[in-house]
Amino acid sequence: MSRDFGKAWTIARRDLRGRFIGLRLLIICLFLGVATLAAIGSLTNAITEELANRGQAILGGDIEIAVAQREATNEELAALKRAGTLSETLRMQAMARLPDGSDTQLVELKGVDNGYPLYGKFTLEGGQSVRAPDAQEIYVTPALMQRLSLAIGDPISFGEASFTMSGVIAEEPDRLSEGLSLGPVAITSLDGLRRTELIQPGSLFESKYRLKLPVTADPRVIGDRLVEQFPNAAWEVKTRDDGAPSTRRFIERMGQFLTLVGLASLVIAGIGVGNGVASYLRGKQGAIATLKILGADSPMIFRIYLFQIMTVALGAIVFGLAVGAIAPLAIIRIAGDVLPIKPEFAIYPLPLLVSALYGLLIAIIFALPPLSRAKMVPAAGIIRGESRSWRQVDRQSWIGVGLAIAAILALAIGTANEPLFSASFIGAATGILLLLTGLGALIGWLASKAPRPKQPLLRLALTSLHRPGAQTGQLVVALGLGLTLFATLAAIQTSLNNEIRSTVPRDAPSFFVLDIPVERADEFRAKVTKTSADAEINIVPTLRGIITEFGGQRVSELENIPEGAWVLRGDRGLTYSSTIPEGSEIVAGKWWDADYDGPPLVSVDEQQGAALGLNIGDSLTISLLGVEIPAKVSSFRKVNWRNFGFNYVLVFPPSVLADVPHNVAATIQIDPAKEDRLLGILPKEFPSISMVKVKEIASQIGEILDQMATAIAAAASIAIFSGIAVLIGAIAASRQARVYDSVILKLLGSTRAQILSVQAIEYALLAFLLSLVALGVGLFAGWFVVTQIFEFTWQPDYGVVLLTLGIGAIVTLGIGLLGSIPVLSAKPARALREL
């Protein structure tokens, strides 16, 4: 047996001799697929590992305890100090003002103590590492410096205090864990922030306490112990292992989606591998016949060409792995600014190994059937040129294909963070391939049963779809995949673009205004009305609390947060109202009376209510300023989250929350020409407020969506290139039959233009039929990605989708015709001798 393998390898090696003519399609397809998977996997691993390695610096400690609208009590501070080295920060939104009131800017104002940062370095431009500034000084980011045209030493005001700008922030080590910011950052000391007098009962601010623990201490154990010690403190506890959970979840989800897109590209490339192998073996049929005549049995033929194909496949996989491994380095250098964190370059073996296994399994799946046909075909059949001799595939090969498919499914689902999501995606991709395969067979059958047209060119084109050796099935899959990808990408891109445009509806407010003292609400309304009589003002109470119990289940006892229940992640906005809030409608239960003064009730957003499994009458407890308030669910509301108004998941009757210290917030809709004037007046009259321009929020959302669309398009473009390669492979696989047709037609007097017209009609018929299928499948795939994965609204531009599909059809038609040019140039005499 070993001698047989040795002989097979010797023959295979000598036959290759470093020349890969005929296998170039296999190389291109495998290289594209493996390189894409390796690059996506390596970049995702690089970012997630960097998040883990820098967990202490990103979080600002081994443990972070955050609480809204209050500072820790003396008892809580004493317990925290006993656990480890403590650092305290305060964070809030505030309006920065120039002393003359000529300009203002919404800022994230942060106060830090002398222990900040416990990990990492807080540096200024020039490389100087610093601690907290003096109470009269402040550090600002370059964005704020540019926005207000500041220079070192210039004064800047917040609330009731004035500061001297004494440095420009180069690195804020815990920036990523702070989350989304509505403006540039300014950092002063805790005493400096308190000088502003912005922290008042009811103000919207967040206190964070970071702990540096002994090396042997377990952060999770200590965090759990502190929560048990203060069960009603409404703390949000994070550990260094997950300092930026939202960022990590987004990166992992996006990475998983892009990996599946890459796997789909590799599967598409696998069809090209099959076509390439089939075309290569057809070109080797003379050598196969000679070997069989000389005594080589079927297993020997199989081994010879298996060695050849696997050798070339392994070379393509290794090349793809090399490119995929170093691709993150180029991505980081080119697009580092849009990444949440700049990871260090490193080689990550696991994603490379997974990508290599995918590539090898795909090569096996699509190479085994043509190899089986090659070993099964008799020498006499090859010499006679019988195409039927190439159709038989033995049972062992089908078993091998089945095992390889099972291995891919196990690998894809087993390595996924969300197995159900991965299984659904793979199932959908498999369904599309089966649909196109079945459609190819149906088109061939319908073409064979259709009446014969009188027009010769049309009759020949129709016959080409079902004659022996026709590659209709492969062409349908190749064209269908390409057009489907064009339609899908266009639908996703235009839907995300429209999401960006519709982020700010026409009737959206001009400003959000936060931290208006409740006792000055009427004065605030009068000031706005005086500035613009036609201004629309909506003032609502605003508080922040955390859900500690729902439906009898304590949140602290949950092992995992229910899918979609984002309301449980930290503190959330709360309000109270005697009437149904604007932008909401009751879908279950009923609203309380305007003068209700009974046991605490709560109205819940219907989507979050469903995620929590709540029903009317179930219990829901919130912790507010360290006090737990139990309530009963009285109704569920459908909330219009897109109206850019004040929308709340939880709304209570006034009797429940009205006596709790709080401020109010407002939305203002005003003539755009008067926005700057209002922005110059209100912060001076009401120093505690923060004014948020809606357009600035929309701009940030638009940038994120645009980056997502770019990443999807980049990954899916590889699938398009793979589809083009499949199309080329299908054309190459049918070249022998088309050369024969071309030669016969030439001998019968046909011109090159007529022969090319026949093929153009054939491709045009396929492109037209497949465009209809691709439109439906592409729109469904786009809808699934936009609504189910990214949870946006579905609003594609159907005109652009149709135009893109039309252009895609023309492009694929052109590629098909370009691939036919070598067929037209075949010399009849030489072709007949070779046939």
Q: How confident is the model at residue 586 (pLDDT cuts 50, 70, 90)?
A: very high
Q: How confident is the model at residue 644 (pLDDT cuts 50, 70, 90)?
A: low
**Residue 479 pLDDT more than 80?**
no
Q: Which of these ranges, 227-231, 672-676, 708-712, has the smallest mean pLDDT?
A: 708-712
Number of neighbours of residue 81 by Cβ within 10 angstroms: 12
**Residue 463 pLDDT more than 90?**
no
Q: How confident is the model at residue 581 (pLDDT cuts 50, 70, 90)?
A: confident
With CA atoms as reference, report the closest residue to 193 among 24, 71, 84. 71
Residues of the chain with pLDDT > 90, as a percent, come to 13
Q: How confident is the model at residue 140 (pLDDT cuts 50, 70, 90)?
A: very high
pLDDT at 601: 94
pLDDT at 165: 92
> Rounded to an integer, what is the distance from CA 411 to the centroid of its chain?
21
> Rounded to an integer, what is the distance from CA 309 to the centroid of its chain?
35
**What type of residue is 193?**
L
Number of neighbours of residue 686 by Cβ within 10 angstroms: 19
**Residue 349 pLDDT more than 80?**
yes
pLDDT at 722: 63
With CA atoms as reference, report the closest residue to 477 among 283, 284, 316, 273. 273
Tell me which of 180 and 93 has the higher pLDDT: 93
Instruction: Please state, in angstroms and rounded to a whole number, the distance separating the CA atoms of residues 129 and 131.
Output: 7
**Residue 45 pLDDT more than 60?**
yes
pLDDT at 534: 84
Instruction: Please state, in angstroms and rounded to a whole number, the distance separating the CA atoms of residues 60 and 212.
Output: 9
Residues of the chain with pLDDT > 70, as a percent, come to 81
pLDDT at 481: 76
Q: How confident is the model at residue 425 (pLDDT cuts 50, 70, 90)?
A: confident
From residue 653, alpha-carbon distances to 545, 602, 609, 687 in Å are 15, 7, 18, 30
Give the CA-trace dihedral at 631, 633, 634, 638, to 10 degrees.
Answer: 130
Q: How confident is the model at residue 88 (pLDDT cuts 50, 70, 90)?
A: very high
- Using DSSP, state whether 284 is helix, strand or coil: coil
**Residue 16 pLDDT more than 90?**
no
- Encode pLDDT of 362-410 as tens digits: 888 888 888 887 777 666 555 555 544 455 677 888 888 889 888 888 8
Contact 226, 237 (CB under 8 A): yes
pLDDT at 654: 92
Q: Which of these ranges, 150-159, 240-249, 764-773, has the smallest mean pLDDT?
A: 240-249
- The chain-wide mean pLDDT, for the chain, equals 80
Instruction: Please state, in angstroms and rounded to a whole number, the distance separating the CA atoms of residues 646 and 668.
Output: 11
State which H helix or E strand residue 29 sits in. helix 24-53
Instruction: Please state, in angstroms and rounded to a whole number, the distance separating the CA atoms of residues 83 and 89.
Output: 17
Q: How confident is the model at residue 155 (pLDDT cuts 50, 70, 90)?
A: very high
pLDDT at 808: 77
Task: State both tokens at 572.
Answer: 């959330």
**Residue 289 pLDDT more than 80?**
no
pLDDT at 650: 93
With CA atoms as reference, report the closest residue to 540 among 511, 562, 514. 514
pLDDT at 641: 72
φ, ψ of residue 72 in degrees (nearest 5)? -65, 145
Q: For the whole model, what pTM was predicted?
A: 0.64
For the ranges 167-171, 197-201, 306-310, 728-732, the one whose mean pLDDT is highest: 167-171
φ, ψ of residue 162 in degrees (nearest 5)? -115, 140
Instruction: Please state, in angstroms and rounded to a whole number, the distance separating the CA atoms of residues 291 and 303.
Output: 12
Q: Which of these ranges, 15-24, 152-161, 665-674, 679-688, has the smallest mean pLDDT?
A: 15-24
Q: Which of these ranges, 283-292, 564-573, 682-691, 713-722, has the smallest mean pLDDT?
A: 713-722
Instruction: Please state, in angstroms and rounded to a whole number, the distance separating the CA atoms of residues 357 and 364.
Output: 10
For the ranges 122-126, 705-709, 767-771, the one whose mean pLDDT is highest: 122-126
Q: How confident is the model at residue 232 (pLDDT cuts 50, 70, 90)?
A: confident
Residue range 311-320: average pLDDT? 89
Instruction: Please state, in angstroms and rounded to a whole number, the distance separating the CA atoms of residues 25 and 764.
Output: 24
Tell me which of 467 and 128 has the higher pLDDT: 128
**Residue 138 pLDDT more than 90?**
yes
Tell me which of 319 and 452 has the higher pLDDT: 319
pLDDT at 201: 78
Radius of gyration for the alpha carbons in the chain, expressed in angstroms and rounded: 34
Tell me which of 139 and 639 has the higher pLDDT: 139
**Residue 503 pLDDT more than 60?**
no
Q: Which of these ranges, 104-108, 127-131, 542-546, 814-818, has the smallest mean pLDDT?
A: 814-818
- Tracing tokens 């989507």 back to the chain, one arrives at 607
- Using DSSP, state whether 400 is helix, strand or coil: helix
For the ranges 196-210, 639-653, 681-695, the one whose mean pLDDT is highest: 196-210
pLDDT at 405: 85
Strands (E), 172-277: 185-189, 205-212, 236-239
pLDDT at 632: 95
For the ranges 120-134, 407-421, 424-438, the one whose mean pLDDT is highest: 120-134
Tell me which of 630 and 765 has the higher pLDDT: 630
- Encode pLDDT of 646-664 as tens digits: 788 999 999 998 888 888 8
Q: Which of these ranges, 418-432, 442-456, 494-508, 810-824, has the smallest mean pLDDT?
A: 494-508
Q: Which of these ranges, 186-200, 228-242, 532-546, has the smallest mean pLDDT?
A: 228-242
